Amino acid sequence: MNVLKNECAISPAWNPTKGGTAPKLVEFVAIWDTGATNSVITQKVIDDCGLAPTGMTKVRGVHGVSQSETYLVNIALPDNVVFAGMRVTKGDFTGGDILIGMDIINRGDFAVTNHNGTTRFSYRVPSQGYIDFVEEIKQAKGVEVQAATRAERRRAERQRKKSGR
């Protein structure tokens, strides 16, 4: 199994509009997990960033249901995208320090590719459109792609009439 990892940074939550000095961002290894609803941090992150718990929540994981502390953090990704004031839970897992869940992944475009035996992933915010490999193949082969909505079908029909096809 390929684990999707990269470096990202964490700091205690901070709002620049309220003044003060921004807390230092500390780099950690992040695991991207599309099976996780929310993002999770380890005790190492809590200790290294000096985080204080903000509450408790019920967590459903592979080992059942339990209670876990919550924290407010800023998460900075390698492309200088920062998610401020994210509520994360404390968890225990191996292979990284931060688990990036769907609470962050679903805010942008996330793609996984495997070319020449090398698996890579890419993430961008904001979303810039749908990524549909089946549609790309059909268009490359000259196969007409059926538009998903009525408005899209009308738009496609107008384009066909303009181009004389």
Query: What residue type is assigned to position 34 of the chain?
Result: T
Copy the structure tokens of residue 130: 């749908």
Q: Which CATH number is 5-124's, of 3.90.245.10, 3.30.70.20, 3.10.28.10, 2.40.70.10?
A: 2.40.70.10
What confidence score (pLDDT) does residue 47 get?
97
- In the chain, CATH 2.40.70.10 covers 5-124
Q: Whole-model pTM?
A: 0.76
Q: How far apart are CA 28 and CA 26, in angstroms?
A: 7
CA dihedral for 12, 18, 24, 28, sign (positive or negative): positive
What confidence score (pLDDT) does residue 146 get?
59
Collect the ranges in the chain with pLDDT lower than 70: 1-3, 143-148, 164-165
What confidence score (pLDDT) does residue 69 get?
97
What confidence score (pLDDT) does residue 60 get?
85
